[in-house]
């Protein structure tokens, strides 16, 4: 049997999307955590970009394969694992979903700017970018509960970790930049209740995220005063 190890970091949203895909497919896997502030030699040797996630694939009689980049890992899981399909069979619709996965990654870039901003101007600019991007997503969402209707997909696996940030950010700074978008709000709620989404991050995730904000002297923390 092929053994899978997901090389992870506690806070990484890209790790979470890979974990969600594995959990949705019911694929057994191990996690191996890495401190990205002090990257061990074995990790540096395996990761071409020095980033997580990595998926280590070990099959009997074969040398270990190393996959990097979360979307590549998710696609591999979709193509090799049994379980519910997370991508459509139609090529055009599948390409469309992949495009929105990339759009989700762009939103994560704005979230990074939001959480690491040290002044109001940077913070407000990041909020505006997040709001504008989610307004575009609102326009393509259907009746839900998920991105493409009733079936959970890889697009959902990409966006669920984005929404997780705002579980803490809402407490610190009030309603999220997408709080006035009803379809987005309903989608967020549906994803939050998904077992795979809940299991993709550890129970101490909120405290670790708060600690991250403290280390980065985030302007976001000042909103809670």
Q: Which residue numbers are catalytic?
A: 12
Pairs from 207-216 (Cβ < 8 Å, separation ≥ 24): 208/10, 208/11, 209/11, 209/165, 209/168, 210/168, 212/11, 212/115, 213/115, 213/172, 216/115, 216/116, 216/118
| C-alpha dihedral (206, 185, 97, 12), degrees to nearest 10 | -10
Q: Listing from the earlier edge strand, what are the strands of the sheet with 54-58?
A: 30-33, 3-8, 54-58, 65-68
Distance CA 71, CA 26 (A): 18
The label of the residue with tokens 């930049």 reads: 177
CA atoms within 13 A of residue 140's CA, in its CB half-sphere: 13
> What is the Cα 163 distance to its own chain's centre?
9
């Amino acid at each position: 049997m092929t053994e899978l190890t997901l090389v992870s970091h506690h806070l990484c949203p890209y790790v979470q999307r890979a974990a969600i895909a594995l959990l949705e497919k019911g694929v057994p896997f191990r996690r191996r955590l890495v401190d990205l502030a002090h990257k061990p030699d074995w990790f540096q040797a395996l990761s071409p970009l020095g980033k997580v996630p990595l998926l280590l694939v070990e099959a009997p009689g074969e040398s270990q394969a190393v996959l990097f980049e979360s979307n590549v890992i998710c696609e591999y899981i979709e193509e090799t694992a049994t379980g519910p399909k997370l991508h459509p069979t139609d090529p055009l619709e599948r390409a469309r979903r992949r495009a929105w996965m990339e759009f989700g990654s762009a939103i994560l870039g704005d979230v990074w700017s939001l959480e690491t901003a040290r002044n109001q101007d940077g913070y407000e600019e990041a909020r505006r970018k997040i709001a504008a991007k989610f307004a575009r997503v609102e326009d393509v969402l259907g009746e839900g509960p998920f991105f493409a209707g009733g079936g959970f997909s890889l697009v959902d696996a990409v966006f669920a970790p984005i929404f997780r940030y705002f579980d803490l950010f809402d407490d610190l700074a009030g309603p999220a930049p997408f709080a006035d978008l009803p379809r987005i709000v309903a989608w967020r709620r549906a994803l939050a209740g998904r077992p795979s989404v809940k299991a993709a991050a550890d129970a101490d995730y909120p405290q670790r995220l708060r600690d991250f904000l403290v280390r980065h002297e985030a302007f976001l923390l000042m909103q809670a005063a």
